[in-house]
């Protein structure tokens, strides 16, 4: 079982559970939280973290998992 679990929440951020090294570009982000929520809508003012703006802007995530493409 992997040490990290990432969940794409419904029309919201990525929920990341477990020990991670987090970088925003070249900047290492220190966090001692066991669970972090990373912005998926690109509208957060606290990137890379979610600040709840996705709800205000009505962010809609992709509705379905994209199936793997088949080789021709
Ligand atoms: S996903 Fe929450 S502000 Fe972007």
Contacts for 53 with CB less than 8 Å, ≥ 6 apart? 39, 41, 43, 44, 45
Q: Where are the domains of the chain?
A: 5-57
**Under CATH, which architecture does the 5-57 domain have?**
3-Layer(aba) Sandwich (3.40)
Whole-prediction pTM: 0.84
Question: How far does the centroid of ligand 1 lie from the alpha carbon of residue 45, in Å?
Answer: 9
Question: How far does the centroid of ligand 1 lie from the alpha carbon of residue 49, in Å?
Answer: 7
- Ligand 1 near 39 CB (within 6 A): yes
Residues comprising the chain, all counted: 72
Residues 20-64: pLDDT tens digits?
999 999 999 998 899 999 999 999 999 999 999 999 999 999 877
Greater confidence (34 vs 69) lies with 34
Question: How far does the centroid of ligand 1 lie from the alpha carbon of residue 2, in Å?
Answer: 25
Q: Is the pLDDT of residue 65 over 90?
A: no
Q: Closest ligand 1 atom, CA of 51?
A: 3
Q: Is the pLDDT of residue 72 over 60?
A: no
Helix runs in 1-72, H state only: 53-57
Q: What is the C-alpha to C-alpha distance for residues 8 and 40, in angstroms, rounded to an integer? A: 9
């Amino acid at each position: 079982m992997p040490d990290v679990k990432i969940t794409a929440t419904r029309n919201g951020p990525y929920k990341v559970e477990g020990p991670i090294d987090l970088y925003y570009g070249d900047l290492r982000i220190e966090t001692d939280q066991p669970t972090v929520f990373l912005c998926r809508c690109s509208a957060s003012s606290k990137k890379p973290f979610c600040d709840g703006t996705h709800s205000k802007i009505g962010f809609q995530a992709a509705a379905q998992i994209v199936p793997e493409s088949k080789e021709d």
